[in-house]
Amino acid sequence: MTTKNSRSSSLRGKLYRRAILDAFKKLDPRRQVRNPVMFVTEAGSLLTTVLWLQALAGKGEAQASFVGAITLWLWFTVLFANFSEALAEGRGKAQAESLRKSRQDTPARRLHGNPVALEQARARAETVSSTRLQKGDFFLVEAGEILPADGEIVFGIATVDESAVTGESAPVVREAGGDRSAVTGGTRLLSDWLIVRASADPGQGFLDRIIAMVEGAKRQKTPNEIALNILLSSFTIVFLVVCATLLPYSQFSVKAASQVALKFSRRKIANFGG
């Protein structure tokens, strides 16, 4: 249990470190432009960073601490969003890598010829990597071992744990001949022994197709996510329009206020002189 927990913690730590690195890689504007909201946030972060540097140099109008706090929060928002996205993507990649590693690390006892007895099979067995098994090769599997490749049973009967592939916890019986002779690479033999003829070349098995599907899968957004993105994009446009009009409206207000004050002063002077 302790070893399993330590392995899980190690994988989780590796996943987090990769997500942190990818969060900084995703700061590339060519990636951020796909998400208008975060692209605007990153542009605002760059702008406030420039203003903060000007404030530190004594050229800004606002206090450096105030501008620095805003800059920090904006960059944190962008990086946290990138980290969350990279973490979600990393889980699929980690799953594919784990499946690929299990395929590469699985040993196979390849047989020379087609023996029909266990002792003959053991005597003719050659231990190789599962990736070296070719279609048509024979291999021996005994209780407790993982099947190195997809194949057809040519001799023997045994119970197989296929939960790693199908998710079904109950073991199934596989035997030579009939409709129950097919076995899948990555499953575990629970009892007895089997002689199997490989039915797929390396990279073309069932697990290999699963790995390709995981790596090439693109998660589709739900209707709620699409509606939320549209809403946030609309708010972003409104925010940009408001920010763009703040300066001219403030300049107009200052000019109008100064003109009113000047007229009031002239009228007061005229009344005093009269």
The confidence band for 97, taking pLDDT boundaries of 50, 70 and 90, is low
Summarize the confidence of residues 180-195 as an average pLDDT.
Answer: 84
Model confidence at 101, pLDDT cuts 50, 70, 90, reads low
Q: Could you give the CA distance from residue 144 to residue 189 in angstroms, rounded to a whole number?
A: 5
Is 76 in the same domain as 94? yes
Q: What is the phi-psi region of residue 136: left when phi exceeds 0, alpha when psi lies from -120 to 50, beta otherwise? A: left
Q: Are residues 120 and 83 in the same domain?
A: no
pLDDT tops 80 at residue 213: no
What is the Cα–Cα distance from 209 to 42, expressed in whole angstroms? Answer: 38
Number of domains in the chain: 2
Same-domain check for residues 176 and 96: no
- On the question of pLDDT at 4 being above 50, the answer is no
* Residue at which a domain ends, from 44, 79, 105: 105
Mean pLDDT for the chain overall? 78
Q: Are 101 and 1 within one domain?
A: yes
Which of 76, 105, 134 terminates a domain? The answer is 105
CA angle 64, 77, 31 (to 5 degrees): 115
Q: Identify which has the larger pLDDT, 2 or 181.
A: 181
Residue that the structure tokens 């299990």 belong to: 102
Q: CB burial class (10 A; 0-12, 13-18, 19+) of residue 156?
A: buried
Long-range contact pairs involving 56-63 (C-beta distance under 8 Å, separation at least 24): none
How many Cα neighbours within 13 Å face the side chain of 208? 13
Say if residue 90 is in the same domain as residue 112: no
Which structural domain, as residue segments, surrounds residue 112?
Answer: 107-201
The residue out of 70, 105, 140 marking a domain boundary is 105
Does position 104 have pLDDT exceeding 70, yes or no?
A: no
Flag whether 240 is in a domain: no
Q: Does 79 share its domain with 44?
A: yes
Q: Within this chain, do residues 45 and 98 fall inside the same structural domain, yes or no?
A: yes
Domain with residue 131: its CATH number is 2.70.150.10
Is the same domain home to 119 and 177? yes
Q: What is the mean pLDDT of residues 235-256?
A: 83
Task: Please check whether residues 127 and 49 belong to one and the same domain.
Answer: no
Is residue 148 scored above 60 in pLDDT? yes
In whole angstroms, give the CA distance from residue 241 to residue 116: 80
Mean pLDDT value across residues 116-125: 74
Is the residue at 208 inside a domain?
A: no
First to last CA, the chain: 99
pTM, two decimal places: 0.52
